[in-house]
Amino acid sequence: MDMDSTELNSAKMDREIINNEAYDHLADRWYEAQDDPIALLRNQHKVEMPWILDVISRHLGPKVQVLDIGCGAGFLSNDLAAAGHQVTGIDLSTSSLAVAESHDHTHTVKYLEGDVYKIPFSDASFDVISAMDLLEHVSEPEKVIAEASRVLKPGGIFFFNTFSKNPLAWLVVIKGMEWFVKNTPPDYHVYKLFIDPSKMRKWNEHHGLETISIRGIRPVFLQKALAKLVMSGVVPKDFKFTFSNSPVIAYTGYARKRAN
């Protein structure tokens, strides 16, 4: 089977397993909706963003070339560009890309329709690759990691965020959203696509990426905003996430590509 057929089959499996099309219809709700799970993603991003900028600064410097794969509506891409980095974002959702571009206040991000199974760039093209909230939305995440490693320069950084695979993660991420967040689409997350952190480390290693850090990220459980969410189905604007020592629900991390 040739590569194009393999990629076509991967994309077909994605469509059959998980409802990624839900993002196509958000339009400006990507940035505005509180009665939708996307509001949780926005608030989680607020916690991750300063950490990502710090990692890039410490390892690579003040201005690098970044590829944000599965960029969605550009939460990460646009903030990285605002911090002075040279950013490209790819996604299959043209409607999401249009929203991303409209919120790029620097007018510097290059947004392109692109397949994460066949990233449209040559080997060793970028200093940083980010796959945030992406790997649980594809049926063959190891293929995506392999592609990310291919286009990453030696010494470059690969960022990732996804969900752990265990009953607590299933309860909080899948059932919690279904029960308590309005407008949660069916199959918004699928448990079979969650990834145990040990498997993430193994895949990284297999594709030349040394995992440097994996840290848990979760909602702050003792906050008034959580009670408001449970009662109303609407995500309060001050809903907080926090990093934790345990990656039992979700985790964020980064790996560094080994020199050839």
Domain ranges of the chain: 3-257
Question: How far, in whole angstroms, is CA 191 from its chain's centroid?
Answer: 16
Cβ atoms within 10 Å, residue 163: 24
Question: How far, in whole angstroms, is CA 206 from its chain's centroid?
Answer: 21
CATH topology of domain 3-257: Rossmann fold (3.40.50)
Strand-pair partners of 247? none
Say what the pLDDT of residue 162 is: 98
pTM score of the predicted model: 0.94
At residue 77, φ and ψ (nearest 5 deg) are -55, -45
Contact residues for 171 (Cβ-Cβ < 8 A; gap 6+): none
Say what the pLDDT of residue 2 is: 43
Q: d(Cα 85, Cα 145) in Å, to the nearest integer?
A: 22
Strands annotated E in the chain: 65-69, 86-91, 110-113, 126-132, 152-163, 209-219, 241-244, 250-257
Identify the sign of the CA torsion 194, 196, 201, 205.
negative
Averaged pLDDT in 10-residue chunks for the chain of 260 residues: 54 76 93 97 97 97 97 98 98 96 98 96 98 96 98 98 97 96 95 97 98 97 96 97 96 94
What the block records as the tokens of 119 is 């990233």
Say what the pLDDT of residue 10 is: 72
Q: d(Cα 21, Cα 14) in Å, to the nearest integer?
A: 10
Contact present, 128 and 66 (Cβ < 8 Å): yes
Say what the pLDDT of residue 1 is: 35
